């Protein structure tokens, strides 16, 4: 059952071939055996998980059924969970226990999913490698010396190592798709507003979006179906009808127009990555899809645009962590100003401080017009690039990241090189579009390569159908890291 899909697990539970309690115990045992190596979990909610499993078994015994009822999952530690720590990978919130559930957590709890625990992450979701966490770096299940990607690296590693069948993540500039690519799993960032941000600790509010992480497109569709939904407590939540994200599965790909951005296949992309992505594109062509070269001319400018806007919003959002109401408070201070300064200096890590400083700078008098307003104008140009491209194509395909997973510590001395790793994912967030990553091969070191699929607004079902068709014909998503065999 460790390698089973969500649909297989749900069917086995409904047929009473296995109980939710037995499943939960099996995955908890894997977490106990593997988490010391990969550091994917910050909190393991053993007692709560077992109680939820027993409750799920009671619901199944009463005749209830559902695609997630009794199925174990995990949450990125950025989602508030009532009665459990929500740390955001930071010393600032290391002892914070949330008094309420995030909307996404409530949705999945209502669906009957069993929460095994909270996954490690880059501090306040700021990072591309899961090395900025106060609780230590997460290691890639395919190669322990490599990063799993970030900021949802804990969720990605947990799914890749079969410690959990599926998990939630968040994506501000690629933080679901890039770790999915590095860790050899599937991950989807929905259209902005499809999943509520209520109870999801904010990094950059106009960019943050929750999404599912699992082994296959089929599992992503199941998880997203439970996560999505209107929430009046979130002013950016979209009021849309309930959607079956698997409704296009099985449809022919003949006539599908695939856009290949010229900028995504230029210099700077690892040859192994480019080769694997082009091989995947050829498969789509073999199924009757038609490829069209498109251009996204502002791709190169999306990184500097993002690293003005995201830090600006972060500097505002993180101002609430001042040591007064909750979070870390310094023990030594002489007055209120010193308490603020000392608490924040002690509670935040280096990357968070860097982004707060950048954000405060670009919002300051004399620089607001020169930086922040210019970045907002550029953001519109990035969105316009996609709008123009989608007049010519239905989906856009390309690499998720320019390389496979790099080694731990190899980019810590050069933040710019770290930031450039997200060059193919950031523009999607700036435009508010849906994007996903699925495995499409391996490099010479045996590290996974990700294929990114980008759709127009609310095209999640079309993207998932294309990904599912590809995964029905390939087995990249079914490969298991040799280092996690037990």
Q: Which residues are catalytic?
A: 76, 151, 175
Report how far residue 5's alpha carbon sits from residue 215's, in angstroms, rounded to the nearest whole number. Answer: 8
How many CB atoms are closer than 10 A to CB 101?
21
Q: For residues 87 and 154, is the Cβ–Cβ distance under 8 A?
A: no
Cα 197 to Cα 204: distance, rounded to the nearest angstrom: 11
Q: Please give the DSSP secondary-structure letter assigned to residue 219.
A: H
Name the residue among 220, 233, 224 with its Cα closest to residue 103: 233
Least Cα distance to 239 among 227, 229, 224, 249 occurs for 229
Q: Which of 407, 398, 381, 409 is nearest to 449 (CA)?
A: 398
Give residues with Cβ within 8 angstroms of 308, minimum separation 6: 358, 362, 371, 372, 374, 375
The answer to whether 294 and 261 have CB atoms below 8 angstroms apart is: yes
Helix 460-473 / helix 217-227 crossing angle, nearest 10 deg:
150
Phi/psi of residue 154, nearest 5 degrees: -65, -45
* DSSP single-letter state for residue 392: T
Residue 476 exposure: Cα atoms within 13 Å on the Cβ side: 32
């Amino acid at each position: 059952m460790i390698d089973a899909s969500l649909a297989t697990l749900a069917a086995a539970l409904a047929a009473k071939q296995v109980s939710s309690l037995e499943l939960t115990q099996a995955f908890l045992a894997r977490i106990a055996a593997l988490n010391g190596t990969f550091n994917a979990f910050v909190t393991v909610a053993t007692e709560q998980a077992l109680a939820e499993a027993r409750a799920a078994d009671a619901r199944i015994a009463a005749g209830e059924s559902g695609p997630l009822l009794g199925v174990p999952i995990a949450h990125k530690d950025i989602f508030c969970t009532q009665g459990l720590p929500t740390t955001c990978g930071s010393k600032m919130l290391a002892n914070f226990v949330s008094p309420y559930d995030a909307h996404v957590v409530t949705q999945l709890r209502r669906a009957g999913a069993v929460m095994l625990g909270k996954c490690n992450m880059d501090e306040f979701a700021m990072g591309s490698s899961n090395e900025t966490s106060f609780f230590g770096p997460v290691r890639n299940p395919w190669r322990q010396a490599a990063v799993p990607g970030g900021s949802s690296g804990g969720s990605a590693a947990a799914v890749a190592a079969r410690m959990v069948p599926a998990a939630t993540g968040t994506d501000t500039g690629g933080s679901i798709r890039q770790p999915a690519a590095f860790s050899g799993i599937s991950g989807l960032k929905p259209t902005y507003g499809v999943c509520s941000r209520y109870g999801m600790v904010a990094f950059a509010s106009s960019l943050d979006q929750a999404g599912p992480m699992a082994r296959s497109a089929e599992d992503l569709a199941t998880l997203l179906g439970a996560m999505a939904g209107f929430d009046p407590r979130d002013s950016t939540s979209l009021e849309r009808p309930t959607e079956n994200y698997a409704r296009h599965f099985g449809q022919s790909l003949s006539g599908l127009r695939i856009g290949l951005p010229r900028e995504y296949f230029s210099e700077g992309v690892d040859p192994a990555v480019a080769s694997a992505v082009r091989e995947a594109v050829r498969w789509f062509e073999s199924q009757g899809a038609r490829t069209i070269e498109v251009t996204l001319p502002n791709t190169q400018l999306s990184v500097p645009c993002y690293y003005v806007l995201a830090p600006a919003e972060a500097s505002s959002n993180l101002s609430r962590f001042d040591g007064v109401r909750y979070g870390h408070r310094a023990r030594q201070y002489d007055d209120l100003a010193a308490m603020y300064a000392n608490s924040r200096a002690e509670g935040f890590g280096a990357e968070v401080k860097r982004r707060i400083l950048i954000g405060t700078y670009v919002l300051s008098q004399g620089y607001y017009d020169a930086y922040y307003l210019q970045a907002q104008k550029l953001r519109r140009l990035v969105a316009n690039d996609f709008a123009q491209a989608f007049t010519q194509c239905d989906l856009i395909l390309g690499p998720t990241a320019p390389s496979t997973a790099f080694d731990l510590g190899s980019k810590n001395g050069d933040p710019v090189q770290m930031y450039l790793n997200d060059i193919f994912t950031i523009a999607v967030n700036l435009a508010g579009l849906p994007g996903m990553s699925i495995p499409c091969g391996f490099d010479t070191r045996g590290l996974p390569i990700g294929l990114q699929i980008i759709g127009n607004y609310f095209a999640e079902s079309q993207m998932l159908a294309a990904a599912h068709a590809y995964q029905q014909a390939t087995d990249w998503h079914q490969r298991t890291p040799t280092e996690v065999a037990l």
